[in-house]
Amino acid sequence: MATIMRKMNVISRCEALYRSRESSEQLPGLYHSYVLAICRNPGMTQDALAHTLCISKSSVARHLAVLEKDGYITRTPGEEDRRELLVFPTQKMQDIHPDVVAITKRWNALLAESFTEEELLLFHNMLDKMFDKSMEIVYAGGGSD
């Protein structure tokens, strides 16, 4: 299993390098996952964003502070719980969202170009199983320490 995870980590790092190379100077590739998640679900809480991206709450707070300072998001207290911060995209983020989606689609197409449709379907099914199991282990307390 370690070999699978090592390869997945390398693919993820390569994707980050690709996104940084392909993205505009104004928004580094590091923030693309935030753009995709926030534009898909405006008004989500910081905690929900951390859960969605599987990133620590402190890292999300730091990254959102940068995005807010640079005018990509606004954070407002929740109506029911004033301690919650809701994250909304600004027009500036909405303007770059299509570019981020295009970069992501190009990366996925490049990776998948040598696979048949059947291979891709099987691969996606296996990844879905691994994804579900990893979320169960981390967020539902399954597995052993």
Residue-wise pLDDT tens digits, 86-103: 999 999 999 999 999 999
User: Where in the chain are the domains?
Assistant: 27-98, 114-145
**DSSP per residue over 61-73, as a string?**
HHHHHHHHHTTSE
Residue-wise pLDDT tens digits, 111-139: 999 999 999 999 999 999 999 998 899 88
User: What number does CATH give the domain 27-98?
Assistant: 1.10.10.10
Facing residues of 73 across strands? 89
Exposure pattern of 84-120 as b/e (b: 16+ CB <10 Å)?
Answer: ebbbebeeebeebbeebeebbeebeeeeeeeeeeeee
Kindly state the average pLDDT of the residues 31-52. Answer: 95
Percentage above 70 pLDDT, the chain: 94
Dist. CA 61–CA 132, nearest whole Å: 25
pTM for this entry: 0.84
